A = this chain, B = another copy of it.
Amino acid sequence: MEPLLDLPRPSPACTRCALRPACIAVGTRGVPDCPLDGLAHPYRRLARGERLFTAGDELGSVYLVREGALKTVTLARDGEEQVLAFHLPGEMMGLDAMATGRHRCDAVALGDTEVCELSFPALQARAAQRPILQAQLYRAIGLGANRDQEHVEMLIRRQASDRIALFLHGIAERTRPIGEAATQLTLPMSREDIARFLGLALETVSRGFTRLQDDGVIGVAGRHIDIRAPRELQRLARQA
């Protein structure tokens, strides 16, 4: 995976940052020329359940997830949550407001989370002057759209087992430390969140996990997943 966006001013805190490679990739390791210099707010920390933004809020910033994870949700009339997306470290979020200028959903931290906040107007202005940054911005937007498309490809499957396999495969791909897909992962979200993401009952998700375990594809210990047969999981996810 190539870097997403340049980091703001490299600092000790950036060492752990998922986006660190980006700084090097663009050759802006030195502070003076960092394309995002001055754009970033201080890192923002959220506790589990805290909201980063809410539907109706004006689009002021975009966010890069540094640590933890978030979900974006819409609230149906009856109060039920629909989970639109999960946002993992290194991913950009907040661009759902691009068309109207206002967010269409709520962003909720799934655990203790840290994000890098960038002023969107400033980012746009800077991008207009720097073609490389502009290209990276288009690319970040495109990656978000691709994740949405993958979500659709899960939901369009009619078998619950297919959706679950696709989900796990996708999370493993996105969680990979570098290069390979992860084989050990700790899901940041609950079974209920997964269910509301996949359009299933939470019991169905639980049973699906158990089934994959019985088939020897994965090991399940609560939210800790051990992918024992990556090829088989990929096969389940690809074909169907």
Contact = CB atoms under 8 A, between A and B. Distances in A.
A28 interface: no
Contacts of A196: 156
A214 interface: no
A235 to B, nearest CB: 10
A239 B196 CA distance: 16
A149 interface: yes
Nearest to A131: B128
Contact of A77 (B131, B138, B239): B239
Contacts of A83: 156
Interface in A88-102: 95-100
A238 interface: yes
A220 interface: no
Contacts of A201: 158
Given A84-B152, A148-B149, A139 B239 contact: no
Contacts of A168: none
Nearest to A120: B138
Contacts of A82: 152-153, 156
B152 A238 contact: no
A155 interface: yes
A143 interface: yes
27 contacts: A74-B153, A76-B239, A77-B239, A78-B239, A82-B152, A82-B153, A82-B156, A84-B149, A84-B152, A95-B145, A96-B146, A97-B142, A98-B141, A99-B139, A99-B141, A100-B142, A104-B146, A128-B131, A128-B134, A144-B145, A145-B145, A148-B152, A152-B152, A152-B155, A155-B155, A157-B199, A158-B199
8 closest cross-chain pairs (CB), A and B: A99-B142, A98-B142, A155-B155, A156-B199, A77-B239, A99-B143, A148-B148, A82-B156
A139 B141 CA distance: 12
Contacts of A239: 76-78
A240 interface: yes
A113 to B, nearest CB: 22
